[in-house]
A = this chain, B = another copy of it.
Amino acid sequence: MNKNKYTLNYQPIEWRDHKVRFLDQTLLPHEETYIETADYMEIATAIKELKVRGAPLIGVAGAYGMALGARQIYARSRAEMLRKLHDIASILKITRPTARNLFWAIERMEKVAKAGKSIEGIIIDLENEAVTIHREEAEATYRLSEYGAGLLPNSATILTHCNTGPLAATGLGTALGVIIYAHRQGKSIKVYADETRPLLQGARLTTWELQKAGIPVTLITDSMAGHFLHQGNIDYVIVGADRIALNGDTANKIGTYSLAVLAKENNVPFYVAAPSSTFDANIKSGEEIIVEIRNAHEVTEIGGVSIVPYGITAVSPAFDVTPAKYITAFITEKGIIKPPFGDLTA
């Protein structure tokens, strides 16, 4: 595949003249609205509110947030600059707790800042580093997509969960990147997309991206995936990841664990596609992963309309942790790998 041939007519995030321009993903698929900002707080809010989402993308957004923040700081000394930058890093980090990429990117930005010699130098270095992170993450998706596509035969039906395309990861995406790459290689790829309640990223975003890529997709509810796996309609399950422990335990969008168990029960290979930045060398197993609990209204309401009687409560864990034993292999920009892992980002 000539990667230059794959030109998206949408960009989840761009750095333009010291500003960040991002697509508000909460308005998709019915509205394609871009927001431009020079304020790191607007990036933090966008991450928190899922206007910008997808583990690799929020890493990139976090990096850009640091670059914007550096310009917003009033500092009389390099030391003051670094202190204030650290506060900005903290604000960007508390937006969402689970995706490793956000922390990885911000830590990388802080390291660059500390190596900077002057206030002006730090500002320029951070801007360059954020753009580099973005470019590297995009390139990683092309490489991992190529590796992943190599696993697929000439014809395959793939089930995927949540959204893992260019919207989620820049470049070609992760799990959806594999699918798009294989399709553009000329393979006959069909996709079942889980709607992915509560926030319907599968229904709203994955179908939108697959439609733009010209790949046949059938939407199903999350509850139907087991049925179609059992019926033999699905050859592969490929999903993304938000954080991967050294032993291969993987946090990803709620519902992933169920798919992994159902895939194994029906002898269907289950792959996780993610760049190195999703792998966390600081944690040994999934037990150490913090799962974000979001507002119960995400479950009790759909599109702002209540689906329950007054007074009913709900819980909304955003992720679950899939034990490594259910995962066939990991598709990364460094190849197809299996745990135990070392530090992939070293």
Instruction: Flag if B222 contacts A223 (CB, 8 Å).
Output: yes
Residues on B with beta carbons closer than 8 Å to the beta carbon of A197: 195, 197, 221-223
Residues on B with beta carbons closer than 8 Å to the beta carbon of A11: none
Chain copies in the assembly?
2
In the complex, A303 has a CB within 8 A of chain B: yes
Residues on B with beta carbons closer than 8 Å to the beta carbon of A300: 203, 219
Residue of B nearest to A227 (CB): B320
Chain A window 243-277, contacts with chain B (Cβ cutoff 8 Å), 1 for yes, 0 for no = 00000000000110110011001000000000000
Given contacts A230-B320, A261-B265, contact A218 B313 (CB under 8 A): yes
Interface-central residue, A195, A211, A313, by most chain B CB under 10 Å: A195
In the complex, A337 has a CB within 8 A of chain B: no
Residue of B nearest to A199 (CB): B221
Given contacts A223-B197, A223-B254, contact A203 B262 (CB under 8 A): no
- A interface, size bucket: 35 or more
In the complex, A336 has a CB within 8 A of chain B: no
Secondary structure call for the A interface: mixed
In the complex, A196 has a CB within 8 A of chain B: yes
Instruction: Flag if B220 contacts A314 (CB, 8 Å).
Output: yes
Closest Cβ of chain B to A329, distance in Å, is: 21
Closest Cβ of chain B to A65, distance in Å, is: 29
Give the B-binding residues of A (Cβ under 8 A).
Answer: 29-30, 194-198, 200, 203-204, 207-208, 211, 217-227, 230, 254-255, 257-258, 261-262, 265, 299-300, 302-303, 305-309, 311-317, 320
